[in-house]
Amino acid sequence: MKKHFFFLLIAIISSKMSAMVTTASRSAMRSISFYLFRFDLRIRDNSALIAAVQRSKKEDYFIPIYCFDDKTNSQTPFSATKSSPERTQFLIESVASLKGGMSSSGTQLMVGVGDTAEYLSGLLSKVQDSGEELGDIKVFCQEEFCGEELKVNRSVERAIKAFNQKRGHPNPTDGSSIVTSIWGSSLYELEDAPFDANSAPTVMTQFRTKMEKNCAIPNCVETFGRGHVCGGIPEALKGEGDKELPGLKDLGFDETELSQPDERAAFNFKGGEENALARVQEYIFDLDLLKTYFETRNGLIGANFSTKFSPFLAVGSVSPRYIAHQCKKYEAERVANKSTYWVIFELTVRDFCRYFAKRFGDKIFQLDGILGREARGRHPNSIRWSYNPTLVEAWKEGTTGYPFVDANMRELKATGYMSNRGRQNVASFLALDMNQDWRYGGYWFEEKLLDYDIYSNYVSWIMAAGMTGGRVNKFNVVKQGKDYDPKGEYVKLWCPELENVPVGKIMEPWRMSKDEQKEAGCILGVNYPNPVVQMKVFQKRDGGGKDGYKAERKKKNKEKYKGGKYSIRE
């Protein structure tokens, strides 16, 4: 009996020692922390990146990666592609800049093309095939909250779990996630907001008031540098980090599709963090333009009527906090006025769109927005949407017969840029004058805009269409043109066929007589189109005041809006 007990004891001790050796060997393994870049392509003031480093062990491998979507030229259901060659080229330039910044910081950016989960799995397999045993695998990224981005997170998590299972490494059993999303790229910090993210205000004025009253703009975090690289890059991946970036052809585009810069373009945008920082320095300090921003921001021609920060913000080559603190620095050193505040205010608008999207997710892409079934007749903003391919195409091509709309749409197509004033007008025109499914506009902007940002774009579109349930701002595109382009200079720049139209009729060429058309060399229906739709006229309701406005078509149109709170923007 004692003999059996002795052998049992030996077996138990042996088993425990084996387990201790296994645990020790696992603890000696190098873990990997990946950082997945998406819309934060910078090393300066990247709060999510720095937070990821701080959550990683000092001895971890820390591997930054970026994966290009190879389907950006694929068609959406709304007659657009996911990106244009111009915006894709801007993105390539931005990633190239990030790669250089990472290299100067002592690490390598791994750049892939195609499915992110597959690319990441391939990197892990290379390390495993080299004979190196890996410890835990973690993935960090900036928090995004719409379907495509969340789908990537889930597929990455599944891929790593499958890799762990294949190599006999345990997956988390405590319910913790392999992929950790970290809030970033906003002006304000999420946790500082005086409301839960699921109850964020849906009206910008309320959002701004609450944030400005209760929150301070956080300081910028330190720049990613050599002290943040943890354990470096596995030897097996150093060759991967040396690979050249893909070109347009690798991403599905014919390089001949990339248009030459248009001499009429407001600004010649080049991607990259260094170009973003240079533009901030130039606009605010070198040219000393910040002090007059409020007065010039509705301009239409030239580089400096507005900041031109938006494309850099869209890909994350510069942070909104960095811009805000540069504005504060300017206020301290030079002058503080409405203009210096207004740039920060517009960054707050950008935050509003992010908080809105976090609360409502993919509803910002849906026809009825956040109204859902209420938009089918039960809500005052209800609209019976239609889709006429001819009308939508005229809007895209800038051939609607409304010069202010056409000029803006032609600028967008030729340059990838349009002023904020223009965006509000063309969106209002498509949704409220043409009565077309606004998603055709949203996806066209997604394809063409260099500064396309998921949240700002689609939240702005559902607001323009009235699908947030708030007040609808209907723009009178004729009067807006007269107010902001009084001499017709912008219209003539992009619609040269109207060059000789009298200034008094430049926004309404249909008012020209036959003789005037001949004299101007602009025959309607020949040189320039007749209006494709009758613009709606908005009239006050009986009693006016708080009841808002009721939109009506002119008598020739049978269809009318019913109810609805509208504010006419003359």
Burial class for 412, CB neighbours closer than 10 Å (0-12, 13-18, 19+): buried
437 annotated as a binding-site residue: no
242 annotated as a binding-site residue: no
Dist. CA 551–CA 53, nearest whole Å: 54
Helix (H, G, I), strand (E, B) or coil at 97: helix
Dist. CA 424–CA 483, nearest whole Å: 14
- For the residues of 283-316, what is the DSSP string, one character each? IIIIS--GGGHHHHTT--SSSSSS---HHHHHHT
Helix (H, G, I), strand (E, B) or coil at 177: coil
The structure tokens listed for 312 are 């850099």
250 annotated as a binding-site residue: no
The structure tokens listed for 469 are 């349930």
452 annotated as a binding-site residue: yes
Dist. CA 76–CA 35, nearest whole Å: 29
Dist. CA 434–CA 386, nearest whole Å: 9
455 annotated as a binding-site residue: no
Give yes or no for a contact between 63 and 111, defined as CB atoms under 8 angstroms apart: no
453 annotated as a binding-site residue: yes
308 annotated as a binding-site residue: yes
Backbone angles phi, psi at 104, to 5 degrees: -70, -20
Give yes or no for a contact between 203 and 353, defined as CB atoms under 8 angstroms apart: no
- Measured CA distances, 222 to 47, 158, 259, 440 (Å): 8, 33, 38, 41
Annotated binding site for FAD: 293, 306-310, 451-453
Annotated binding site: 293, 306-310, 451-453
